[in-house]
Chains A and B, each alone.
Chain A
């Protein structure tokens, strides 16, 4: 196999993954999606590393990826815990709500206009119900509609 071509191809894929993750991280506001984007970036790095490892005939690349996976797992645990905390405090996953560290006197960022949600977008995945359906608490209903 043409090793150099393989390397280049893999590097391009790694780069694209990294770039897509980056764009997602920067653009999205949902903390979980941002986190996903970060993971995508990590994937890009991993792909590059493996490619380089093969090219150089070195185990180091793969070793590093193993650790990346381990660290990603830790990260997921901690970060998701934090996200959960934050989400509990406001009830929302919006990163823009957390801008208290801005300079004094600086106006807070608020959304100018919120586009109407279109009909076709109002579909969301439903998990197939399993087991006994819990009783619906009317208060909880009220709470849900607010989300």
Chain B
């Protein structure tokens, strides 16, 4: 094939799929314990293809940017059509806007086909995700070959694995909301299969189902969002095309020109502006066509529904409950799917939909609030968990919350920061999970941190790499996490600054000068006109809100600024907690007295090379990736962000008017480092020292003193006091025992009543809340699952007794009538004659009188 991009785009998902199918067919009989070779080879090839694709794309981008050939000046994308999935012509008649505005015909109005082509796209965002996914997948595949060795379902694992990589690569490279939804669910299916991989474990099977269902709730929102996009924009494609399916940009330009000139073009040649296509983005035409007044509501609704979908997939509050349970799956799966790739699909989707969110500031606020809140909540829960993988799972939820926080800022700085955090997080979280897997492997699948400890000498490689991962997660300079977390917090900080009134600086979170107006931080950006984006942002307080977009919630800028300010503080707080719980887990596992559970048996040693080598590679990446990609501290250039700005969904004019990435916030960096070090320090103090202090602190947060205070048994002990005995004897002597009992009983009652609230407090003590994950699972069980099951039983009862009863009753009516009629059949000849005569009489009367 002479079109390398097409070939690569097909190869990247096709290779893992082919591997999956082959393993599925040959696995049980032929490949067996050799199944991994096929998977590794395919995924590795896929990774190489992704790199090639990135290279091809960057050439093309540079050529386009240099020649100024990008037609409408926004982004660069390559789309390739494979085949037509569905095509329902004239499916939707969108109300036409008044004639005269010829542009409107491109983006709204007229007859719309429901045409879904299987179209693959290559742009910066996709390439970034592809490289990340395939790289991590390759490493995890190699790791799994060691980790899963000897499992009876070995081939099955790699078949699922290939299927997942296929789905995930398709997810990021499709160019259509329907197909996005398709692979959105497909990765969910792979997740379901892999969580329930050890299906004999009831917990694993239940966790798989739970993951699928919670995701379905999210998908419910996603689907509604997609429907709303369809009715609003009349297309579900990301890209521009012609109605006949033509994708060639030149042809589209030609058609647009013809349309603008008022020529009558055949239906095949009519241009269709994709949701994120240059035609629409050039003028920020995401205002729904034809319904200007409802546009704000609809935009908000679309965004919130998409957000619900993202919350499901990316495990954000309130749909985060499935991710910790998903740790029942094999650890490589947790590393790949539930830390690095699949759970970031929500982030990817929101980043992809940036143009939609940009016209709805309220939705952005919600994204940020959800993200910030989840980050804090998950971090709080992670503080007290003893299951090593669950700590990491909550950490993942928390970090995903960070990403949402950044995405919700609504500036390019925020979006790129979120994606950057996604990128770095993939490395160090995969590293941590694989490290945890290594520990599990050695400890004979024991994962409770209380049952092992001091492993640093037993597993030195794991120890070192895990330490690197922990430092990166905690955000310690100069590891990857530091840079991305700084970018996130910096973006939020900028937002606060942007929203606050200029004359009063009193709310400022920290002394922070105006943004350094460096030279245009994006030389390679396709927009020559966008220099000094930062300046513009300061000058235009409402830069992210377009003129005809009215915020639905009606919050003032001041209030929104304050909310973002709180979110910023929350982020800092979370980074403290992150550092604390990360190192708590680290110390509990690798430090302290050496403790090895009996299940470990002969396995208690360092893992094989197939597992340690990926760990090493990931550790190196975690350490260096931030330093290499984010050079904002040097010259304000974040190569990662600049690369991303080539994405059509990001680098379009309206977005370019927001705060651009590239600033390095020394103060923010300072604060966050301080927080991280504080967290590390505290946990070092607590967990490297004696365990007694830990116990004390836990008792304190558990409100143990309350329990001691209101314990009924303490009253029982009081009976043994000498004074008490004396009083009792005295009263017995004077025969007033009953009075004594009365008084003591009354006292006891009063004390109990008074301490009831305290008891309640005891049961929701901070420690217990955190340990029991804020009782959210129980709450869902109580509020959703049980009522629904009850309703189900009620419905069944109604069905059996009421509805079927009615049916049976109706069925009995003819028999009842028949019983009545039977009595007429009495066998008397004169009676029959009489009946006949009466009938005749009626006929006669009708005939003669009628």
Contacts and interface: CB of A to CB of B under 8 A. Distances in A.
Interface of A: 22, 25-27, 29, 34, 95-96, 98-103, 105-106, 108-109
Given A95-B830, A99-B829, A106-B822, 11 more contacts: A25-B833, A26-B834, A95-B828, A96-B828, A99-B827, A100-B827, A102-B827, A103-B825, A103-B827, A108-B827, A109-B826
A26 B829 contact: no
A100 B825 CA distance: 11
A34 B827 CA distance: 17
B828 A99 contact: yes
A26 B832 CA distance: 9
A26 B837 contact: yes
A106 B826 contact: yes
A105 B818 CA distance: 13
Contact of B822 (A27, A34, A103): A103
26 contacts: A25-B830, A25-B833, A26-B830, A26-B833, A26-B834, A34-B830, A95-B830, A96-B828, A99-B826, A99-B828, A99-B829, A100-B827, A101-B827, A102-B825, A102-B826, A102-B827, A102-B828, A103-B826, A103-B827, A105-B822, A106-B822, A106-B823, A106-B825, A106-B826, A108-B827, A109-B828
B487 to A, nearest CB: 92
Nearest to A109: B828
Interface in B806-850: 822-823, 825-830, 833-834, 837
A98 B829 contact: yes
A95 B829 CA distance: 7
B830 A106 contact: no
Interface residues of B, number: 11
Interface centre among B822, B826, B834 (most CB of A within 10 A): B826
Contacts of A25: 830, 833
Nearest to B822: A103
A29 B826 contact: no
Interface of B: 822-823, 825-830, 833-834, 837
Nearest to B840: A22
A103 B829 CA distance: 13
A99 B830 CA distance: 10
A73 to B, nearest CB: 22
Given A103-B822, A106-B822, A22 B827 contact: no
Contacts of B830: 25-27, 29, 34, 95
Contacts of A98: 829
A31 to B, nearest CB: 9
A25 B831 CA distance: 11
A51 B834 CA distance: 28
Closest 7 CB pairs between A and B? A102-B827, A99-B827, A103-B825, A103-B822, A101-B827, A102-B826, A26-B834
A18 to B, nearest CB: 11
Nearest to B832: A101
Contacts of A99: 826-829
Contacts of A96: 828
A109 B827 CA distance: 9
A15 to B, nearest CB: 12
A77 B826 CA distance: 29
Contacts of A22: 837
B842 to A, nearest CB: 15
Nearest to A34: B830
A27 B834 CA distance: 9
Contacts of B825: 102-103, 106
Contacts of A105: 822
B819 to A, nearest CB: 10
Nearest to B827: A102
A120 B822 CA distance: 42
Contacts of A101: 827
A29 B822 CA distance: 23
Nearest to A107: B826
A29 B826 CA distance: 16
A95 B834 CA distance: 14
Contacts of A29: 830
A101 B822 CA distance: 12
Nearest to B821: A103
Contacts of B823: 103, 106
Most chain A beta-carbon neighbours within 10 Å: one of B825, B828, B833, B837? B828
A25 B833 CA distance: 9
B827 A106 contact: yes
B844 to A, nearest CB: 12
A138 to B, nearest CB: 37
Nearest to B830: A26
B615 to A, nearest CB: 89
A102 B828 CA distance: 8
B841 to A, nearest CB: 10
Contacts of A103: 822-823, 825-827
A98 B830 CA distance: 11
B281 to A, nearest CB: 84
A25 B829 CA distance: 10
A95 B822 CA distance: 21
B821 to A, nearest CB: 9
Contacts of B826: 99, 102-103, 106, 109
Q: Point out which of A27, A29, A100, A102 has the most chain B C-beta atoms below 10 A from its C-beta.
A: A102
A112 B760 CA distance: 83
A109 B828 CA distance: 8
A95 B827 CA distance: 10
Contacts of B828: 95-96, 99, 102, 109
